[in-house]
Amino acid sequence: MDQSGHIRFLKERKSQVFIISVLYLIVSIYLYNKYGVRIVTDSSRYLDYASQLSIVGLYFDPLNFWYVSYVFFVYFSQLIGESGWIIIFNQYVFGLVAVYALYDGINRLTGKARVGFLGALIFILFPDNLMWHSYVLTESFYCSMLCIAFYVIVRFHQSEKSVVDYLITSLILLITFFSKPTSPALFIAMFTPFALRFLIERSYRIWKIAGLFLASLILLILANGIIQSHQVLLIYTKGDIIFAMHKFPNHKDYELMTIDVPQDLFVPEKNLPIMIQMGQFVTNNFIYFLKLFTAKILMYVTHIRPFWSIEHNLAILVFTWLTYFFSIRAIRMRLISFDFTIIASTYFLIHSILIGITWADWDGRFFVPIVPLLVVLGSIGISGKALTPKAQA
């Protein structure tokens, strides 16, 4: 790039960052005026854990340990002031940092500043996305960490791999890993293409199969520990598509949000590990479970709810389904590498399956971890520009 071209490039980036900042500020002010500071039921787990850290120091809480990164975010926010407003303010500021990271990550990935600019605009305007910055919930922090992790991974991939690169990347991934119980999905997805190439090779096949079995066993034990405290079997036996729908039998959408429970339903012994209970339930109630599983995934993937307004659902349909369309376009046109396709598909599939075997939510917050992925793929699909040779490598 010649000197004049470099100057034009810098001016373009400067103007784009300015527009992104102004738009983010406008949307954030609107959302804060609308939602304010939301302390909801699950907020107590983070606030209480952070308060205990101030009293007794670092300790292990088996129920909330998978949120410990966000707990520390809350803890350090409360050092500034006890008000929930401080947490929310920090979440909005941290969210802006995340938008910059997403913008620059897409730029690095594609080599086109306009693609990153498009991605940042979609991310800011995506319905039910930035609103979570007004909630004392991990969704805000986790989504921001995903954007930052995306940038760091792309940067690491294109760097000379110095000690500093390894340290920064490891730290960001560690923080991301302990932000939400579903965070292992990112790491499993990232590992999948390497695992596939490793397993396809004929050498040491028996050892590879044994290693795969051991890794799967470890994942099951880990999953059992994470989900042990949740009422998964209760949701199964009540026919809930959305969590705890059975508690609202008079809700106008009750029949749409539940599946009829068969009279001969098999219920496992409660003293067994939760993963074994789930396995027994599935094998003995397969058709019923399949209905529940399918309904939850459809609820998750469509990202609409019958109890939301028509305008709300239409806005979601426009953004979500257009990003789906252009994400698929990016894959079909081979605008992204095969490894990236495997990672993206695995990441999306794991989240969908997790909803299928647990429950869909009332407010759509479980969809938040998917938004950065759809924004990256969708912006690439809209641009029709393949990744740079360096990014494809």
Among positive and negative, which fits the CA dihedral 355, 307, 38, 118? positive
* Cα 37 to Cα 358: distance, rounded to the nearest angstrom: 28
Among positive and negative, which fits the CA dihedral 86, 87, 92, 96? positive
144, 295, 229, 59 alpha-carbon torsion, rounded to 10°: 0
| pLDDT tens digits in sequence order for the chain, 393 residues long | 555 555 666 778 889 999 999 999 999 999 999 999 999 989 998 999 999 888 888 787 777 888 999 999 999 999 988 788 999 999 999 999 999 999 999 999 988 888 999 999 999 999 999 999 999 999 999 999 999 999 999 999 888 888 999 999 999 999 999 999 889 899 999 999 988 887 777 776 677 777 777 877 777 776 666 666 566 777 888 999 998 899 999 999 999 899 999 999 999 888 887 778 888 999 999 999 999 999 999 999 999 999 999 999 999 988 999 999 999 999 999 999 899 999 999 999 999 999 998 889 999 999 999 999 999 999 999 988 666 555 554
CB proximity list for 190: less than 8 A, separation 6 or greater: 153, 343
What residue type is assigned to position 125 of the chain? L
